[in-house]
Amino acid sequence: MTDAILRVTGLHKSFGDHHVLKGIDFSVAAAERVAIIGGSGSGKSTFLRCLNFMELPSLGTVALDGREIGRPAGGDGARYYPEAELCAVRERVGMVFQQFNLFPHMTVLDNVMEGLVTVKGMKRAAARERAAAELEKVGLGAKFDAYPGRLSGGQQQRVAIARALAMEPEILLFDEPTSSLDPELVGEVLRVIRQLADEGRTMLLVTHELGFAYHFATKVIFLADGVFHEVGTPDEVLKQPRQERTRAFLARYTEFGF
């Protein structure tokens, strides 16, 4: 594929001698929506975090628009990543966390404005306008002056999504965005994510909500043992998995189905 925005080649990641990702090749094109599923501890977060360099790859390259990030350092495939270059990547590849990670000392509006003012150097008035628009979009137009600690988990996660969106990233990464929410709050967050899908945004989503993944994704990846065990359309991976391992994983989710 030549129209990949982001391309990963030969990605390995180890923590000490714990080899978590074992050679992953992957690319995302504009408007693709990728759902990543897999067991707990299989490296889903690590993979996602290598894409915006919250974790530095141990080996392999990540390229944005065909340009490889960082530069070779030493002869053994290791790379050096200058801070400024990583900051620039993170502006283009936004991230939403399981634990929201909102800034508790700032109001909701200031949380969303923060990146615009501090990172993009936008004037406060313009930043306020953009932040307000993003908050309206996620249904939080009435909460501008609230502090995050006063909001429900679902509301906090929607603020976090607005905060990421305000930066106008080309790719959005979601790491289990509903896993720490009470069941009745999951829907409001998933509806926002579906709305983003309808806008044609490029997104990667790590999730255990297989039903949502099925409707949301253009591509589903089953990650196991540090490699992409099975990759395909939602129908292929979630309805007719070819790998025994994938079937066993899915069976655990449907065990108590009705």
Ligand X SMILES: Nc1ncnc2c1ncn2[C@@H]1O[C@H](COP(=O)(O)OP(=O)(O)O)[C@@H](O)[C@H]1O
How far is Cα 233 from Cα 240, in angstroms, rounded to an integer? 10
Residue 91 interacts, among Mg ion, other proteins, ligand X, none and using kind-specific CB cut-offs from 5 to 8 Å, with other proteins
Q: Enumerate residues 9-48 that contact Mg ion by CB under 5 A.
A: 45
Count of residues near other proteins by CB under 8 A = 30
Which is it for strands 59-64 and 4-15: parallel, antiparallel or unpaired?
antiparallel
How far is Cα 182 from Cα 158, in angstroms, rounded to an integer? 14
Residue 149 interacts, among other proteins, ligand X, Mg ion, none and using kind-specific CB cut-offs from 5 to 8 Å, with other proteins
How far is Cα 254 from Cα 258, in angstroms, rounded to an integer? 8
Q: Enumerate residues 172-201 that contact ligand X by CB under 6 A.
A: none
Among residues 10, 15, 82, 182, which is the contact residue for ligand X, using CB under 6 A?
A: 15
- Can you state the percent helix, strand and coil of the chain, rounding each to 5? 40, 25, 35
Residue 41 interacts, among other proteins, ligand X, Mg ion, none and using kind-specific CB cut-offs from 5 to 8 Å, with ligand X
Task: Note whether 102 binds other proteins by CB under 8 A.
Answer: yes
Q: Of the candidates 49, 215, 199, 48, which has an alpha carbon nearest to the alpha carbon of residue 134?
A: 199
Q: Taking the alpha carbons of 176, 140, 194, 55 in that order, is the dihedral positive or negative? A: negative
Among residues 34, 95, 204, 213, which is the contact residue for other proteins, using CB under 8 A?
A: 95
Fill in the DSSP letter of residue 52.
T
Residues 48-87: x where in contact with other proteins by CB under 8 A, - otherwise, as a string: ----x-x----------------------------xx--x
Contacts with other proteins, residue ranges (CB under 8 A): 52, 54, 83-84, 87-91, 94-95, 97, 99-106, 114-115, 118-119, 147, 149, 160, 163-164, 167
